[in-house]
Structure 1
């Protein structure tokens, strides 16, 4: 029987849990080094300086820890603007998955060796790129790393 919404528990409110998780992911992605990650006071100041919008340090902490549940559209827009994501990122699974894939790529490209590998591969034929992907997949297997799915792999001979 579907819930009527009267006495809902946290498990019945996945959107609120997702907001907490997605905000934390954005903070972790923007500031990957925990030692240099700003506290909520400094983060609130950076948000104000970057966007002109105001969200208090306490409110940010409450959102990130799930203590606060009543975010306004204005506050959602300020967070989206600061983190460079569409506001729908916080509310829509499909948008969130797409943005998270982009964040994963951006995070990987911070590594100079990965960036160098990608830049050196530019201009190679599709067959050469396929061979490189196969080599990387095999290296991942040798190191017992999980497989990486290749989204929409190009057909042999196509030019992406």
Structure 2
């Protein structure tokens, strides 16, 4: 819901600009938003939204933010849409790492048994390194939750 607006907006900024040293400031972001979408959001207001200090935002402003970040407007107001988009963003961020990409590409074509063994190894490595277990519900079962049942093979 809108109480998560700051968290969602700052998450989008971080996903788009993961390197803090290269992340644009709010003034530059506001200018980029204006140049890209034609919509106007001040740097101060953008900062207030991203930090949760302000929550009073119009649908028009949410539309401008959605257009700039390439997410559906519903991302900001619907928890389920937000969860799906965040999962996609997490995948995109993970795939920026060349070693993660290499691992994923090398897994292509392996048998289901080999993929299961690989997932077991990765899950154990994540446990040893005290990392969260990620995406097991969809990936360990081979399910693709965003596809309608009729399209599954």
**1:30 maps to 2:30:** no
Deviations, residues 51-83 of structure 1 (Å, cap 9, x unaligned)? 222211121112112333321111100100111
What's the TM-score, normalizing by structure 1?
Answer: 0.81
Deviations, residues 74-132 of structure 1 (Å, cap 9, x unaligned)? 11001001111111111111111111111111111111000111011112221211111
Change (3 A) 1:146 1:73: closer
* Aligned residue runs from structure 1 range 61-100, under 5 A: 61-100=47-86
What's the TM-score, normalizing by structure 2?
Answer: 0.84
Equivalent residues of 2:75, 2:81 under 8 A apart:
yes
**1:123 maps to 2:117:** no
Please say which structure displays the higher CA radius of gyration: 1
**1:141 maps to 2:127:** yes
2:34 paired residue number: 48
Question: How many positions carry a matched residue from both structures?
Answer: 143
1:114 paired residue number: 100
Q: What is the RMSD of the two structures over their aligned residues, measured on CA atoms?
A: 1.9
Deviation at 1:149, TM superposition (A): 4.1
Unaligned 5+ residue runs, structure 2? 144-151
Determine which structure has greater relative contact order: mean sequence separation of CA pairs < 8 Å that are 6+ residues apart, divided by chain length.
2
Unaligned 5+ residue runs, structure 1? 1-14
Deviations, residues 2-30 of structure 1 (Å, cap 9, x unaligned)? xxxxxxxxxxxxx4431111111111111
